[in-house]
Structure 1
Amino acid sequence: MQRFLHEGMPDTTAWAQAETFSDSVRILFRDVVNSCQTLLDSAVMYSPQSHLYYARKATLYLYCLDYGNALVWMKKALEKKDLPSLRLSIGMLLQKTGDEPQARTWYRQAADRYRALDTLSQADGMNYVLALALAGEKEHAYKAIDSLIKDTLVRGQLRRTLDDPQEALDAFLP
């Protein structure tokens, strides 16, 4: 992709190795992600205190199923700004890599941080409920749904999610 951007010539070596359409899509996506990573590296260089750039790099690694690098960059984002949503994301990445005990610790930390906020947006409320459920505190999560979520459709969907939070995690993370 870099060669194509600079010289107008696509790099066909990887394409020649593609055996299926899925392989082709994966190769194309990897090239796009690599180009985006280059842009984000520049953004990090010019604004190293912004947690958003670090979190975006983590997200791009996640899309490439590179959970190790996604976790590294998500933790760097957390160093820049301690947000409960980042702690929840780190827990999800740890669970996806099979470290469930450590993931539960991060979920509890996220739930504690959400609980400490003065006000919760609806998105924060849903993340709080998810953090509670993934931390194994389903009863607290059900109570939080009833007290925080006013929309009955959202409330119903969250209750169904709590019945199988692993399914929600699998749907959320590739």
Structure 2
Amino acid sequence: MKSLFCILSILFLLTACTSKSEKSLMESFHKESQYHKHLLRTEKLEINRDQQVKVLLTATYLNEDPLKKKEDERFVVGIYTEDFEDENTTEDSKDHFTITLNGKKPKFTKKISKDAPQAKNISFVSDWTKLYYLKFPHSKSEKLKLRFKNKYYGNGVLQFYKKPRYVLMKKKSIF
């Protein structure tokens, strides 16, 4: 009888401790899950000149379930440009850029702060990055190409997929 009481007491103590830690772990997981979902849909691009990074562009694809919902393609784009002195460069030429998605211009562009609701849970946000919220017309394509162009710095492409990448890869024969 004593052994049964000891076993039940130990089980009760372990269960009580586990539930408290489990609850805090679950709260932490749910709090950070949106951040990790956004991180999976974030791409980074560096544009170099003279072996130095001149533009760091990060873009996060915000659409939750793009294959089921036929809504606008939404992105938060962060652009960091290096400040340097060059007599051939004006501030306008450094800040003037175009971003297209599969060749189409955005139908809505808004400069946002890092505290804006759209920027919540976005990775790679710094005080020096300029953030933009962009909406593009819905695209039926499963592959999205976000193209950055700047007269002074050059251009680059970020690729996003509506399906997981492994679904789009061709199967290779092992024989």
Normalised-by-shorter TM-score class: under 0.3
Higher fraction of helix: 1
CA radius of gyration, larger in: 2
TM-score (norm. length: structure 1): 0.27
Is the strand fraction higher in 1 or 2?
2
Taking CA–CA contacts closer than 8 Å with sequence separation of 6 or more, which of the two structures ends up with the larger relative contact order? 2
